[in-house]
Structure 1
């Protein structure tokens, strides 16, 4: 398992503690924002782990929430100090080119124990070859080549979680069959991608299933999504990406709906052995 106390999870835990203390004190986010002389959106970002306050701001919030016990204050401040650690994805060369929200997702993925993905448009980013990823990013509007290369570098760096020696990330990817027949980057790039998928599926911590194109209407047609699992103390998180933006789903009802959808897709897909056979067959067809 990855470090269950990585920077993103730490920030989320800190945010959860701040929200709990605020609600216990009977304050809403507007009151906290007025106290810090900031926007309510900043308080919301802090409480969802998508931002990090200064230490003096944390102390000020603890004063507002009536937290006078020194041991509890010390616990929160230590959590804040640990949450201030900078992840590799937050380095300037990457942070400035990552689309809004993707940096948060990469951090969550880094801290996750397992990821389940449904892919409707592209091969899972965690399983893309470098050339396939480059072709995907090249299709984005108004992206200079240096930014494309940095985005590819981020994608390749993310994949290291799958092969790390100590508790690699567990990935279960269900891919819509038309994705595998779309020659992104050209026949040679697609052939290499299909072969790489088949090889990845042979790894113990990776499961790949293909959802047949001849199936009727199914719930996955609404769009791609991911489910991220952490330690027992941290709830599962859903992530949905779309042309209009991305969304993190954390409410129990929302997450349960995604889990049910993924289970239906997994049940309707080819089993892993059949999927591997199809991947090898499609790779041969690209010759």
Structure 2
């Protein structure tokens, strides 16, 4: 009996052990499967993470490249802007900028070009009020801004000439400013000379000076020199007449006058003025007659 019981117990334990082993193996197998699944998932996630990291890196590189390109473009734009803003203005741009400085009720008229030495730059000093404006043009080796203090010290720029416009109350008041002369009155008593192109000039003298005068249309012209230099008047007169055969002064309404000094050029005492109804325009302060004429014929 005991032996039978012992055999039964042993059989039971054996069966229990097989069941426990099977359950444990199944559990371990499940855990192993889960671990493998987890490792596979982790491996896949790791791969995805690497790809994401690579994509992120590419995105950052792309963003960096885009930013670099943007900065490069911005720097180029800034460089171009600086180049544009720092470039030297042309003569016509300086004249236009000068006109914009004038605040006046006088109809502004300026020459469209100035006689300048090669390699020099144009600049100006302006003054204006309700009934008057004045522009003194200068040339300089180095560019100088309009109305800069360097233009008045006499060292950094050379004066070319001055252009003015003045508004009067009436045409008569404006006309009285013009020193117009009718030289026909000299025909009977004053010596004359042929200035070319059918124009006759007349001599006069007084107070240590000699004069040569003539008319062209509604203009009168006078050239003065000291008596000791009177012989240069004829040459100066012919030069002016010849120039005006090629170039035209502004047509005056009603009259105009040119007054020139043939010697004492340092005085800059040259003047061309003409009337436009109740406004007088004037060119003055030039080094010689020809410079004044070149400015006036450029209006």
Please identify the structure whose Cα radius of gyration is greater: 2
Q: TM-score, normalised by structure 2?
A: 0.23
Q: What is the TM-score normalised by the length of structure 1? A: 0.23
Higher strand share: 2
Report which of the two has the higher share of helix.
1
